[in-house]
Amino acid sequence: MPQDGFTALDFNCMRLPGLDERMSAIREQIQPQFQRIADQLIPFLNEKEQADPPFCAHIARHARRTIHPPESTWLALAQDKRGYKKHPHFQFGIWPSHLFFWLAFIDDYPHKKELGEAMLTDMPTLMQTFPSYFAWSSDHTSADYALQGELTANGLKQLLMRLTKVKKRSCSVAL
């Protein structure tokens, strides 16, 4: 089945009140689209020589939720069939306001400090080479982001410094 894109109906799913209603809509409307995206991306990612171990798809199930509906939902593509949180991974998802596609380093990634330090060292290169439409986020649980073209060197430095110092900090770069 071809992927025809996300519509207003998909975004409306993310605005439905109540856990049961929203989760039902996510399962019926959004997760099949994530599966189609994964079916297209996984072979592409795995044909690259560097894909060892191979990429696997992880569609968010929100299994621990008992009261509050998820504000966003996502598909993670990581090189571990058992999970994605402790690895750099691609994350495609939907908020009520927008879609996102991140290269994400979230809470459980054990080398965040080293990554932040390396990115701080290369910050002038990042500022010059990343396109203005790339986006940065320091919190994968928030819809907030900063566009590269609007981010000052000091703003990026603060984001990367937090990555090196705060345990529950994440860093995501929109592609």
* Pair 24, 66 in one domain: yes
pLDDT at 165: 83
pLDDT at 15: 98
pLDDT at 49: 62
Handedness of CA 106, 110, 111, 116 (dihedral sign): positive
Q: How many domains does the chain have?
A: 2
Three-class SS state of 1? coil
* Pair 83, 17 in one domain: yes
* Pair 6, 91 in one domain: yes
Residues of the chain with pLDDT under 70: 1-3, 49, 175
Domain ranges, residue 67:
1-97
pLDDT at 117: 93
pLDDT at 4: 72
- Residue 84 belongs to domain with CATH number: 3.30.930.20
pTM of the model: 0.89
